[in-house]
Structure 1
Amino acid sequence: MLAKLRQLHSEVDLAYDLVQQFTQMLRNRTGECLDAWLEQVASSNLPELQSFAAGVGKDKEAVRAGLTWWINNGVVEGHVTKLKLIKRQGYGRAGFPLLRKRVLHAL
């Protein structure tokens, strides 16, 4: 179905290609291609992608660093998500002592 849509609508084909290029930058950590990708999006006639690119352009150096460096905070974010889940499960039912025990038991 995707192939058929890409054949029928050139805008869908262009949007798909641009999204795949950005995905490849994420997977392969090729942040040096960001400027060329932003130029391609700016020259396209796709307002949704242009809006996304404008947001990326506002903090381009941070996005480039995220697309280039191997260092990330995924582990920390995972722990924060787990703690928030435990906190939400006990909302309105228990105080801090039980929350503390559940957090320590979960680790």
Structure 2
Amino acid sequence: MSDWVEQRIARVMETSRLLGEPPLPPHLTFVAARLAKPGPSALGIRRRRVRRIGRRLHKAGGVPLMRAVLHQAEVLSLRLHSATVLRDIEQDWNGIGGWRN
């Protein structure tokens, strides 16, 4: 893993810790993995799926839950692909509940 990837993972994990995000239960870790593999911009149809996931997460736990799953997806994507998905997902979730890009 490159230094950039390791530094990015450390920053995301620190942000998650500072926000007090608890570890995700297995079913939400699976959701994060779906967001991370492949990245949402890899296929045009992914955007609809990403938005659907965002709406479901918002309904279940609001923006805090969305943010926790997004952080997990970012870490997984970096570990699997050395690629960031954070910006793409943030943009796709814009306007869902209180989510602002």
Q: Aligning the two structures, in what range does the TM-score lie when normalised by the shorter sequence? A: 0.3 to 0.5
Question: Which one has a larger percent helix, Structure 1 or Structure 2?
Answer: 1
TM-score w.r.t. structure 2 length?
Answer: 0.33
* Structure whose alpha-carbon radius of gyration is higher: 1
Q: Looking at both structures, which has the greater relative contact order when contacts are Cα pairs under 8 Å and sequence separation is at least 6? A: 2
TM-score w.r.t. structure 1 length?
Answer: 0.31
